[in-house]
């Protein structure tokens, strides 16, 4: 009997969901490390003497190598050439090494004098470490998307993608919630050390997953990794780039995510300085969008599957984003309750747009172009994840310092929030253009997936 007629590993619901749980743990650790330094902004200023521009440099460093050294593109090529197991292990090792370097810079180099290209040695080396981590995290992201496509093809693929993103949000929310209390109780760098340990756990988890994946490959005759429909191809790049749907989704992605992830990085300080929220819970509130998205992304994903309206939902999410950032920008609104409600509304927008956007990519592009399309969209998104925090950090230092307290600057966040509002307005315009393009080019974004 041919091997393919045997029951394969991923035919067992328990085993395929178990495999997803293993890699989702690795991604959860990645999202934790990604976000855990952000709530410490004020402490970094008092304890390690990092100013806002240096914090912005560090935050944007996540995407630096991905953008300027095209690491996502090389990552896509490596993924297609060497497969999920090799690329996943490589990406996770990069995350561990990068975080190790970041931790070393923040501990062992904290007192080092001197500068590199005008930046403190500790800031520069920590940013270099975070940049290496960013390459690993983004490549791991596309690897996991491909892993889900392989293990869940013809099964609960969209649900599995939603569950993986939702679990990653647990890592983000944990980071925002624990960073300040943990840093106060132990050392400022303890939250990073915990992340490093979790990532080492994630590396072990990925090695365990690889054993299962190898077994699955032995069971399937035609190896999915090598099938032409999964390959990153330069021919496809040209086709994708000439599709107006690609540009609209990529632009919406960079604009929308630039208003969420970089904003969150500064949100703990905003909560404390403008709304008087206690430092011990400010991170928790800054992480609320991730917590909301944890529950709502699968719900809205289900709605998009059953009722469609993906383009309209993206417009709604972008409109909500404008309202949130605009109200944060108003200098006379300083109630902590309003700040918290706005974070909840941001959480709803942060669930609406991704749950409509990522499945829309699959409607606009045929299956064989999907991997390439995701890598290119992530690449463009990373330009915003690099540029916006860098810009906000500089703007804070140059135009927003209004005093000093306990050795840290006090900032007026009006101008940064106006910048975020402007980007959100652009995202609504692009979402509207996408809806028009949907009608014109027949992407079927407004139609239900399940009929
Ligand atoms: N199947 C695609 C899922 C994408 C999820 C998306 N992640 C990203 O956009 C990453 N490129 C950036 C992650 C940065 C984490 N702070 C998401 O919504 O998380």
Task: Delimit the domains of the chain by residue range.
Answer: 15-216+229-441
Q: Is the CB of 261 under 6 A from ligand 1?
A: yes
pLDDT at res. 1: 40
- Assigned token pair, 305: 């599957």
d(CA 301, CA 394): 37
Superfamily the domain 15-216+229-441 falls into: MFS general substrate transporter like domains (1.20.1250.20)
Q: Is the pLDDT of residue 101 over 80?
A: yes
What is the pLDDT of the chain when averaged over all its residues? 92
Q: Whose CA is nearest to atom 11 of ligand 1?
A: 378
pTM of the model: 0.91
Distance in Å, CA 282 to ligand 1 centroid: 23
pLDDT range class, residue 221, cuts 50, 70, 90 = low
d(CA 424, CA 356): 17
**What's the rounded mean pLDDT across residues 9-13?**
92
In terms of Cα–Cα distance, which of 100, 47, 49, 225 is closest to 153?
A: 225
Q: What is the largest CA-CA distance in the chain?
A: 77
Query: With contact defined as beta carbons under 8 Å apart, do 252 and 357 qualify?
Result: yes
Q: Is the pLDDT of residue 49 over 90?
A: yes
d(CA 315, CA 30): 29
Task: Give tens-digit pLDDT for 383-435.
Answer: 999 999 999 999 999 999 999 988 889 999 999 999 999 999 999 999 999 99
Task: Give tens-digit pLDDT for 349-383.
Answer: 999 998 899 889 888 988 778 778 888 999 999 99
Q: Is the CB of 34 under 6 A from ligand 1?
A: yes
Q: Whose CA is nearest to atom 1 of ligand 1?
A: 145
pLDDT at res. 157: 76
Looking at per-residue pLDDT, the higher value among 159 and 131 belongs to 131
Q: Whose CA is nearest to atom 19 of ligand 1?
A: 165
Q: Is the pLDDT of residue 307 over 60?
A: yes
Could you say which DSSP state residue 127 is in?
Answer: H
Looking at per-residue pLDDT, the higher value among 306 and 96 belongs to 96
Q: What percent of the chain has pLDDT over 90?
A: 74
Indicate the SS3 state at residue 113: coil
pLDDT at res. 231: 64
Looking at per-residue pLDDT, the higher value among 149 and 286 belongs to 286
Which residue in this structure is represented by tokens 């749950």?
A: 355
Q: Is the CB of 124 under 6 A from ligand 1?
A: no
pLDDT at res. 401: 97
């Amino acid at each position: 009997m041919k091997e393919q007629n045997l029951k394969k590993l991923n035919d067992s619901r328990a085993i395929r969901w178990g495999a997803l749980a293993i890699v989702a743990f690795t991604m959860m650790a990645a999202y934790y490390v990604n976000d855990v330094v952000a709530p410490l902004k004020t402490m970094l200023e008092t304890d390690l003497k990092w100013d806002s521009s240096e914090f912005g440099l560090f935050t944007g460093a996540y995407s630096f190598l991905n953008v300027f050294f095209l690491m996502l593109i090389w990552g896509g090529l490596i993924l297609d050439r060497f497969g999920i197991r090799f690329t996943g292990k490589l990406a996770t090792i990069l995350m561990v090494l990068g975080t190790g370097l970041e931790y070393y810079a923040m501990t062992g180099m904290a007192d080092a004098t001197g500068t590199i290209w005008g930046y403190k040695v500790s800031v520069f080396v920590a940013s270099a470490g975070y940049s290496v981590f960013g390459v690993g995290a983004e490549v791991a992201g596309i690897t996991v998307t491909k892993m889900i496509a392989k293990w869940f093809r013809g099964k609960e693929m969209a649900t599995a993608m939603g569950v993986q993103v939702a679990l990653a949000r647990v890592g983000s929310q944990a980071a925002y919630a624990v960073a300040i209390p943990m840093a106060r109780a132990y050392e400022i760098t303890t939250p990073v050390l915990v992340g490093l340990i979790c990532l080492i756990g994630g590396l072990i988890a990925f090695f365990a997953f690889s054993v299962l994946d190898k077994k699955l490959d032995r069971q399937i005759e035609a190896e999915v990794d090598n099938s032409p429909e999964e390959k990153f191809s330069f021919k496809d790049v040209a086709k994708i780039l000439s599709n107006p749907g690609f540009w609209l989704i990529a632009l919406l992605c960079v604009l929308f995510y630039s208003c969420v992830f970089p904003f969150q990085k500064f949100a703990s300080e905003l909560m404390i300085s403008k709304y008087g929220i206690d430092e011990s819970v400010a991170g928790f509130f800054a992480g609320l969008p991730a917590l909301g998205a944890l529950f709502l992304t699968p719900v809205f994903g289900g709605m998009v599957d059953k009722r469609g309206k993906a383009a309209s939902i993206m417009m709604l999410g972008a409109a909500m984003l404008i309202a949130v950032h605009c109200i944060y920008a108003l200098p006379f609104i300083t109630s902590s309750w309003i700040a918290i409600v706005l974070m909840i509304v941001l959480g709803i927008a942060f669930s609406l747009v991704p749950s409509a956007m990522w499945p829309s990519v699959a409607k606009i592009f045929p299956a064989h172009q999907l991997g390439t399309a995701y890598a290119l969209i992530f690449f463009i998104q990373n330009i915003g994840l690099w540029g916006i925090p860098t810009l906000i950090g500089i703007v804070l230092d140059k135009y927003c310092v209004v005093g000093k307290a306990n050795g840290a600057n006090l900032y007026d966040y009006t101008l940064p929030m106006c910048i975020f509002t402007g980007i959100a307005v652009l995202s609504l315009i692009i979402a509207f253009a996408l809806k028009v393009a949907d009608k014109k080019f027949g992407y079927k974004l407004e139609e239900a997936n399940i009929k």
